[in-house]
C-alpha cells in the first residue's frame, strides 16, 4: 500500500511539474536521461535508416523484448565496450546509446517510449500487431544485425 501511494505521488508530481520523461524513474544511464521531446529530436536528426552503410554481419549481442513491460534489453557479449551506438528497431525506430558496456555490464534496457521514428512517434507494439521484427545497431560506420527474441 505504501508503495502504491508513493508511486502515485511521483506520478502526480511529474504530471503537475510538466515533465516529459518517457519513464517514471530516472534511467541509470546518463545518455538515456532525456525527455521524450529530446529523444524524438535526436531520432529525427539521425534518420533515415542507413541502408547504404556497410554491413558488419551479426553483432556479438542479443536483444530481448518484453511486451508486458514494453522494453527492449540489449546485451553486448563482445570483449569490448561500445560507444556511439544507434539502436534501430524495424529499420524505422531508433535510440542513441552513448555507451554500451561489455559482458554483464553491457545490458541496456530501453523502454519502447525511448524509440522514435523521424516524425516524433514512439514505438509501440499495438498489442502485437506491430511486432519487433529486426534489431540492428549502427556503430563505427557499419550496420550490424542483432538476434532478437521475445522474453518471458
pLDDT beneath 70, residues of the chain: 1-29
In a domain, residue 12? The reply is: no
Residue in the structure block whose three cell numbers are 504530471? 15
Rounded Cα–Cα distance for residues 150 and 72 (Å): 9
In a domain, residue 65? The reply is: yes
Structure confidence at residue 6 (pLDDT): 41
In a domain, residue 49? The reply is: yes
Number of structural domains in the chain: 1
Rounded Cα–Cα distance for residues 44 and 40 (Å): 6
Structure confidence at residue 17 (pLDDT): 36
Structure confidence at residue 23 (pLDDT): 52
In a domain, residue 37? The reply is: yes
Q: What is the pLDDT of residues 54-75, one digit of tens each?
A: 999 999 999 999 988 999 999 9
Which stretches within the chain are classed as H helix?
Answer: 2-17, 36-46
In a domain, residue 106? The reply is: yes
Give the residues across from 99 on adjacent strands: 83
In a domain, residue 139? The reply is: yes
Could you list the residue range(s) of the whole structural domain that residue 44 is in?
27-150
In a domain, residue 9? The reply is: no
In a domain, residue 19? The reply is: no
Amino acid at each position: 500500500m505504501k508503495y502504491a501511494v508513493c508511486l502515485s505521488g511521483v506520478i502526480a508530481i511529474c504530471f503537475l511539474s510538466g515533465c516529459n520523461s518517457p519513464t517514471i524513474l530516472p534511467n541509470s544511464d546518463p545518455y538515456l536521461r532525456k525527455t521524450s521531446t529530446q529523444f524524438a529530436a535526436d531520432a529525427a536528426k539521425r534518420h533515415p535508416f542507413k541502408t547504404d552503410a556497410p554491413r558488419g554481419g551479426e553483432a556479438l549481442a542479443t536483444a530481448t523484448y518484453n511486451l508486458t513491460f514494453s522494453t527492449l534489453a540489449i546485451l553486448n557479449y563482445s570483449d569490448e565496450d561500445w560507444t556511439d551506438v544507434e539502436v534501430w528497431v524495424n529499420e524505422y525506430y531508433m535510440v542513441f546509446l552513448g555507451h554500451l558496456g561489455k559482458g554483464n555490464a553491457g545490458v541496456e534496457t530501453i523502454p519502447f517510449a525511448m524509440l522514435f521514428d523521424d516524425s516524433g512517434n514512439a514505438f509501440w507494439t499495438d498489442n502485437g500487431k506491430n511486432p519487433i521484427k529486426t534489431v540492428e545497431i549502427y556503430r563505427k560506420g557499419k550496420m550490424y544485425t542483432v538476434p532478437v527474441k521475445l522474453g518471458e
